[in-house]
């Protein structure tokens, strides 16, 4: 039974002093976070919700938008996250997700609701974000399809959010109209609006152009809610996150693509040769007229597709190489990174899971992966970012710099925090095969790392998080906006409100936002507290034999709670017999404060 209550089972942490310390700090800051019931292969949902519950950005966002009563999904998501983050003391409280799923307006199919099939955590994450967007603006997708971008061009003013200004803020931000549509008339000095609705929304900028003539149709700015990084098909045992990001922004060369500018240049050369060889004045006039039309079109920044079709001949199509490249233009306040582990196995002609370990750190600097509008080159033959011009390096130099960057991030997590520095908040790990397996989550809350596998919640540490295998999704938050908020929570020892699940079963909300007469948990004498916890463990162990006879009755009671309500209190020890030991823990906390 102790496995359901890891805060009582301190034998779990006997061989790890860091986790023992985290256990003590967790108790000093309100105790255990909540778990989520696995309703039948629903670990993919539970892991995503647990990770989102650790985001300051998302919690603030939900607090703001749930003031409107017509946003039922957002309200249910906030209620569930608030319950998970409540101070449960030494109790392990398990919650259900059924109310959240029922609030979906056009949710997944019935199998996802019932959890009969193994689903993908990343797909469920996208579903949650789409539902939040619909709660805010139900007709947003319809409006975007109906409006021509040129109709949205406006003159730029000083109060408009541009580039990386006020990074982390939601709402409208603006990009240069000439980059969106270089052929637009009177676009000089105008901007194009894009809207960031949720904390995971950011902007990407993508460029596709010809390597021969530099022709490109404009920078494609898009709103993204995270990025997907593909693991290579090679069977290397490990790969770093920075290497995957380097691969994400690396230029992709596309062979044998028709280029309209190169095609017109080829046609002009052919017509010029025909003009030089012609002796008939009328024929020469026709050739000259065609050359004038081509020259007029070639003088424009972007070749019009309809004009190209009119001027070129089908038997004179010019093939060339094009390059495709992408960067962040404005990264989101809450960055979601999905590690795509699906690779094609040429030996079996099937999709398999790549089990390579992803090496990452607690801090992530995105400076090398962001291209602000004023730093973008409009010529595809040049580097994407102006700051990178003339910095071409050999592959040995690039490899050396990558390795040094990885080493610097791993060895020095306490460096100065820049405007594009992110801090790790949570990760999702997948264990199993490509078609089936189990998802768990690690998340940082109240200054402590937790390992959550559905209903089972245990204290962890950063070392275990960074060395875990099967990393599937990672969530990072802007450091400058959130690091100060992640300092260990403050508590009032004279008025500690411990949630035991009873109010939730009555349908009441848990309010744990009020703090007064606070002290820092860093002031707690952890060594003193740990010794008291060990004494309690010894007493619990001595009482285990007397309580074993009632084990089957307790399991039956647990199942009844599971069937009747949304929250289940995972306290399987006899409260009457353990009152004295619990009092000693509370006294230790009080003495530590004094």
pLDDT in tens, 150-174: 889 999 999 999 999 999 999 999 9
Q: Using an 8 Å Cβ cutoff, are 236 and 359 in contact?
A: no
N-terminal to C-terminal alpha carbon distance within the chain:
35
**36-40, 220-224, 563-567 — most confident range:** 220-224
**Rounded CA separation 591/325 (Å):** 60
Cβ(438)–Cβ(299) below 8 Å? no
pLDDT at res. 144: 52
The pLDDT score that the predictor gives to residue 92 is 80
Spatial distance between the Cα atoms of 491 and 30, rounded to a whole number of angstroms: 8
Across residues 473-486, what is the average pLDDT? 89
Looking only at the bridges linking them, the beta strands covering 202-210 and 342-345 are: unpaired
d(CA 500, CA 568): 9
Question: How would you class 429 by CB atoms within 10 Å of its CB: exposed for 0-12, middle for 13-18, buried for 19 or more?
Answer: buried
Taking residues 397-410, report their average pLDDT.
54
Can you read off the two tokens belonging to residue 583?
A: 């009092």
Distance of CA 578 to the CA centre of its chain: 42
136: confidence class by pLDDT, cuts 50, 70, 90: confident
Per-residue pLDDT at 520? 33
Rg for the chain, CA atoms, rounded: 30
What tokens were used for 196? Answer: 């960031």
Q: How many residues does the chain have?
A: 594
* Tokens read off for 536: 């309690």
Cβ atoms within 10 A of the Cβ of 166, count?
11
Q: What is the mean pLDDT of the segment spanning 228-247?
A: 90
The arithmetic mean of pLDDT across residues 419-446, rounded, is 92
Predicted local confidence at residue 550, as pLDDT: 46
Reduced to 3 states (helix: H, G, I; strand: E, B; else coil), residue 339 is strand
Looking at every residue in the chain, the average pLDDT score rounds to 77
What is the C-alpha separation between 194 and 185, in angstroms, rounded? 20
pLDDT category at 486 given cuts 50, 70, 90 is confident
Summarised one tens digit per residue, pLDDT across range 278-328 is: 888 888 998 899 899 888 888 888 888 788 888 877 777 778 899 999 999
Say what the pLDDT of residue 414 is.
Answer: 52
Please give the structure tokens belonging to residue 152.
């949205």
Give the pLDDT of residue 258.
86
Cα distance between residue 175 and residue 162, in whole Å:
7
What does the pLDDT look like over 173-199, one tens digit per residue?
999 999 999 888 888 889 999 999 999
3-state secondary structure of 176: strand
Q: What pTM value is reported for the model?
A: 0.78
Rounded to an integer, the average pLDDT of 505-532 is 36
Residue whose C-alpha is closest to residue 496's, from 88, 95, 59, 33 = 88
Distance from C-alpha of 476 to C-alpha of 483, rounded to nearest angstrom: 11
| The pLDDT of residue 508 | 33
The reported pLDDT for the residue numbered 12 is 55
- Of 431, 429, 430, 433, the C-alpha closest to 442 is 429
Distance CA 109, CA 113 (A): 7
242 compared with 148, residue with greater pLDDT: 242
Specify whether the CB–CB gap between 460 and 19 falls below 8 A. Answer: yes
Confidence of residue 524 (pLDDT cuts 50, 70, 90): very low
Inform me whether the pLDDT recorded for 563 exceeds 70.
no
For 70-109, how does the pLDDT look when each residue is reduced to its tens digit (9 = 90+)?
A: 888 999 999 999 999 998 888 889 999 989 988 887 544 4
* Mean pLDDT on 544-561: 44
| DSSP H/E element including 13 | none
pLDDT-above-70 percentage for the chain: 71
Query: Does 503 have pLDDT greater than 60?
Result: no
Most confident region among 175-184, 488-497, 507-516 by mean pLDDT = 175-184
Query: CA-to-CA distance for 26 and 445, rounded, in angstroms?
Result: 9
Closest listed residue to residue 520, CA positions, set 40, 29, 182: 29
Percent over 90 (pLDDT), the chain = 40
**Residue owning tokens 């900028």:** 205
Beta strand 334-340 pairing with 471-478:
antiparallel
Assess whether pLDDT exceeds 70 at residue 510: no
Tokens of 75: 């309200």
How far apart are alpha carbons 357 and 237 in whole angstroms? Answer: 6
DSSP for residue 566:
S
Structure tokens at 169: 């803020």
- pLDDT at res. 405: 55
**Cα–Cα distance measured from residue 474 to residue 551, given in angstroms and rounded to the nearest whole number:** 39
Considering 100-114, 338-352, 383-397, 511-525, the range whose residues carry the highest mean pLDDT is: 338-352
């Amino acid at each position: 039974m102790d496995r359901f209550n890891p805060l009582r089972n301190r034998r779990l942490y006997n061989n790890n002093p860091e986790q023992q310390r985290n256990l003590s700090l967790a108790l000093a800051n309100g105790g255990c976070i909540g778990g989520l019931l696995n309703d039948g292969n629903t670990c993919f949902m539970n892991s995503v919700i647990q990770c989102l519950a650790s985001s300051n950005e998302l919690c603030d966002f939900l607090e703001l938008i749930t003031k409107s009563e017509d946003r039922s999904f957002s309200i249910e998501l906030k209620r569930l996250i608030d319950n998970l983050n409540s101070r449960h003391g030494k109790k392990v409280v398990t919650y259900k997700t059924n109310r959240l799923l029922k609030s979906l307006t056009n949710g997944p199919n019935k199998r996802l609701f019932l959890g009969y099939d193994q689903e993908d955590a990343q797909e469920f994450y996208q579903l949650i974000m789409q539902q939040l967007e619909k709660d805010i603006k139900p007709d947003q997708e319809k409006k975007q399809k109906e409006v021509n971008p040129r109709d949205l061009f406006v003159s730029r003013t000083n109060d408009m959010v541009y580039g990386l200004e006020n990074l982390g803020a939601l709402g409208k931000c603006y990009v240069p109209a000439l980059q969106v549509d270089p052929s637009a008339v009177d676009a000089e000095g105008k901007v194009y609006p894009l809207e960031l609705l949720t904390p995971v929304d950011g902007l990407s900028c993508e460029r596709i152009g010809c390597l021969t003539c530099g022709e490109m149709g404009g920078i494609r700015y898009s709103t993204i809610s995270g990025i997907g990084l593909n693991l290579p098909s090679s069977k290397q045992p490990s790969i770093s996150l920075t290497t995957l990001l380097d691969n994400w922004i690396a230029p992709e060369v596309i062979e044998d693509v028709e280029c309209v500018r190169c095609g017109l240049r080829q046609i002009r050369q052919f017509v010029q040769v025909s003009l030089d060889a012609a002796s008939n004045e009328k024929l020469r006039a026709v050739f000259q007229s065609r050359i004038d039309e081509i020259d007029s079109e070639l003088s424009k920044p972007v070749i019009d597709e309809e004009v190209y079709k009119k001027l070129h001949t089908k038997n004179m199509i010019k093939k060339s190489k094009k390059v495709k490249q992408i960067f962040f233009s404005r990264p989101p306040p809450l960055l979601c990174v999905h590690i795509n582990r699906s690779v094609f196995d040429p030996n079996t002609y099937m999709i398999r899971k790549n089990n390579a370990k992803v090496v990452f750190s607690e801090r992530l600097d995105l400076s090398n992966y962001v291209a602000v509008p004023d730093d973008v080159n409009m010529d595809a033959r040049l580097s994407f970012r102006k700051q990178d011009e003339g910095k071409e390096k050999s592959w040995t130099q690039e490899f050396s710099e990558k390795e040094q960057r990885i080493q610097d991030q791993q060895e020095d997590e306490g460096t100065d925090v820049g405007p594009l520095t992110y801090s790790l908040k949570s990760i999702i790990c997948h264990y199993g095969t490509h078609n089936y397996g189990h998802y768990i989550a690690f998340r940082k809350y109240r200054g402590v790392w937790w390992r959550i596998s559905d209903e089972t919640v245990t204290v962890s540490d950063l070392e275990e998080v960074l060395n875990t295998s099967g990393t599937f999704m990672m969530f990072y938050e802007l450091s400058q906006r959130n690091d100060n908020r992640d300092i260990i929570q403050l508590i009032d020892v004279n008025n500690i409100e411990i949630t035991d699940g009873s109010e939730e079963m009555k349908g009441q909300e848990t309010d744990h936002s009020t703090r007064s007469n606070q002290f820092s948990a860093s002031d707690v004498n952890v060594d003193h507290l740990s010794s008291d916890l060990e004494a309690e463990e010894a007493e619990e162990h001595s009482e285990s034999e007397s309580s074993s006879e009632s084990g089957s009755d307790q399991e039956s009671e647990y199942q009844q709670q599971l069937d009747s309500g949304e929250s289940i209190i995972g306290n399987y020890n006899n409260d009457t017999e353990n009152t004295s030991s619990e009092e000693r823990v509370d006294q230790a906390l009080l003495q530590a404060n004094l």
